[in-house]
Each structure stands twice: as structure tokens, then as C-alpha cells.
Homo-oligomer: A and B are copies of this chain.
């Protein structure tokens, strides 16, 4: 498991935090998901074979947020 941080744009409230947290936690190979609403960041650990970064980015975008490159 590798620790990562991604910037997430567009989170405005606790519901957004919950949406991102639940979306990432549901991915096999992702653990320890934590979201900072203030900083617009998500912290997590992932197994890059099971859950490559592109899968994680796609899951966040699917929830309606932006993940700047």
C-alpha cells in the first residue's frame, strides 16, 4: 500500500466529503480515505496494481468533482 494525496476541486460541504470518501472506500485496493474540505484534498492508501491512480481519479470525477492533473 502506497500513501497518496490528490487535489479535488468543487467540494463545498460535508455531503461532498461523504460522497468522495464513500466512492474511494468502495474501491478494492483503497484504504484509509480521509478528505480535507478546507484544503480540497483527499488522502488515501492504495495498492497500485488493484487500484491504479487513474481508477481513483475517475471515481472522484464520477461524483462530479474535478481532479487537476
Contact = CB atoms under 8 A, between A and B. Distances in A.
A19 B13 CA distance: 12
A64 interface: yes
Indicate how many identical chains form the complex: 2
Nearest to A18: B15
A16 to B, nearest CB: 6
Interface in A1-57: 12-16, 18-19
Interface residues of A, number: 8
Among A15, A16, A19, chain B packs the most CB atoms within 10 A around the CB of A15
A63 B64 CA distance: 21
A13 to B, nearest CB: 5
Interface of A: 12-16, 18-19, 64
